[in-house]
Chain A
Amino acid sequence: MGLELYLDLLSQPCRAVYIFAKKNGIPFELRTVELLKGQHLSDAFAQVNPLRKVPALKDGDFTLAESVAILLYLSRKYEAPDHWYPQDLQARAHVDEYLAWQHTALRSACTRAMWQKMMLPVFLGQPVPPETLACTLAELDKCLQLLEDKFLKDKDFLAGPRISVADLVAITELMHPVSAGCPVFESRPKLAAWRQRVEAAVGEDLFWEAHNAIMKAKDLPPADTAVKEKLKPLVQVFLH
């Protein structure tokens, strides 16, 4: 059995891993784990990732979780072109810096914005207080400003003149609130231009293939009672 990637493309980090693997022609078996059906909670999946989260990777006997770890593993093992995760000390440091910052900053804001605006009220039928949503969107706005001013600045891509895993992680995060109808790129021409460059570098077909599921999430019929009962306790964390 070759490389297996356990993914749900509804998840931002899964999309980053998917795009990276596909773009670099890395051969893998896609194992879809449907989060909305709670498949990540199964005992079978716990064999792959005891922490029961996607993305997860299985390469022979070696299992690995966490998107940043997976992206680094794939980039080194399959010898992806250097620009994805440069060997140059300072260029690489810029990638590491972005990947570290985004985890506790932008990712949190994007996840909560999407859940509070769309998934909780529409899919799970749980209304979210307007002031909670307003607060989250304000925080998202702040993160977007930091992304532009402190990371992107006047560069073409986040870590330098060429696309890297930092851009993949960032763009897949930003598409989360986009899918919920939050204005992300509308009044930010610099960020919109960067997005165009990233899509072009990835390839439009692959980009939209990876984002098909999340863009359709707003059209999901409301969850049935069984799903609601399973998921509601787990997603309350997105309200804080």
Chain B
Amino acid sequence: METPCSYKYCCPLTLACPTTMGLELYLDLLSQPCRAVYIFAKKNGIPFELRALNLLKGENRNKDFLPTDGLQRLPVLKDGDFFLGESVAILIYLSIKYQTAAHWYPPDLQTRVRIHEYLGWHADHIRGTFGVSLWAQVLAPYIGIQVPEEKMKRNRTAVDCALQHLEDKFLRDKAFLISQQVTLADLMALEELMQIVALGQDLFAGRPRLAAWHQRVEAFLGADLCQEAHSAISNIQEQATNKKLPDLPSEVYSYMLFRISSIP
């Protein structure tokens, strides 16, 4: 191919295509960690080819769409021959390679490890917990399943507890979670919270400190970028209601059953 590729989505010629020698990001903006990577790259003006994949169609499981021999989970970064998974690893890689503003991942050791401290807690208490809403409210009903109320009650408690800790142990009186400036931690947290907020639940009601933090982060990122990044998750409920979601391949369907049954 001589001319720049006009395909918006991944095409089977990806591996041979000369336009794909730069950075490529394989993302589905329904996914919280994908949004964190997308927003970070856009906000920092990092040039990349967006490979928008559809998780509901199982495109991550198809090597024509996602040519990695690593885990078939999004997000994935491709930089020449180098593949990288896991949003945190990708964010750190991008921040170092493209020398983004220091506040994202400060060189000061104590501040930097506080980001990792937050992300460790986030992995246990935020990741997984805040994603349940999409499954329970949209995806499970779409395939005719109701998540038991007992599990939903446990999830609501876990969400409340996590929000309380976020305010009391991390944010406290600071402008942002780790310091007085936005870091990778704020981005990861924001996108998890948005997974619930975008589905119509106001997590910030009765939590003025967290609400103010949310406003500050979105103000820093910019309303346009946030709107663009949150569009998919904001529209999914309506799409499901109007039966406009894709037909689910059987392996995606099986995976969904497994994920729904794994909700603690």
Contact = CB atoms under 8 A, between A and B. Distances in A.
B216 interface: no
B123 interface: yes
Contact of A69 (B82, B89, B97, B120): B120
Contacts of B264: 237, 240
A72 to B, nearest CB: 6
Contacts of A92: 92
B121 interface: yes
Contacts of B97: 89
Contacts of B87: 100
Given A65-B117, A100-B86, A76 B109 contact: yes
A64 B165 CA distance: 16
Interface in B74-131: 82, 84-89, 92-93, 96-97, 109-110, 112-114, 116-117, 119-121, 123-124, 127-128
Given A64-B113, A73-B113, A103 B169 contact: no
A94 B88 CA distance: 11
B70 interface: yes
B11 interface: no
Contacts of A76: 109
Nearest to A146: B71
Contact of A67 (B85, B120, B128, B165): B120
Contacts of A65: 117, 120-121
A114 B198 CA distance: 38
A50 interface: yes
Nearest to A76: B109
A104 interface: yes
B84 A69 contact: no
A66 B71 contact: no
Given A50-B169, A77-B109, A93-B92, A72 B116 contact: yes
Give the residue among A62, A68, A97 with the most B Cβ atoms within 10 A.
Answer: A97
Contact of B84 (A66, A72, A73, A93): A93
A150 B112 CA distance: 28
A148 interface: no
Give the residue among B86, B93, B117, B169 with the most A Cβ atoms within 10 A.
Answer: B117
Interface string A35-72: 00000000000000011000000000010111111101
A151 B87 CA distance: 16
A50 to B, nearest CB: 6
B120 A66 contact: yes
Given A65-B117, A66-B121, A72-B116, A104 B127 contact: yes
Given A93-B84, A96-B88, A97-B84, A104 B114 contact: no
B82 A90 contact: yes
A208 interface: no
A25 B121 CA distance: 28
B89 A93 contact: yes
A-B pairs with the 8 shortest C-beta distances? A66-B120, A240-B264, A96-B89, A69-B116, A100-B86, A69-B117, A97-B89, A103-B123
9 contacts: A50-B169, A51-B121, A65-B121, A72-B112, A72-B116, A73-B110, A89-B97, A93-B82, A93-B89
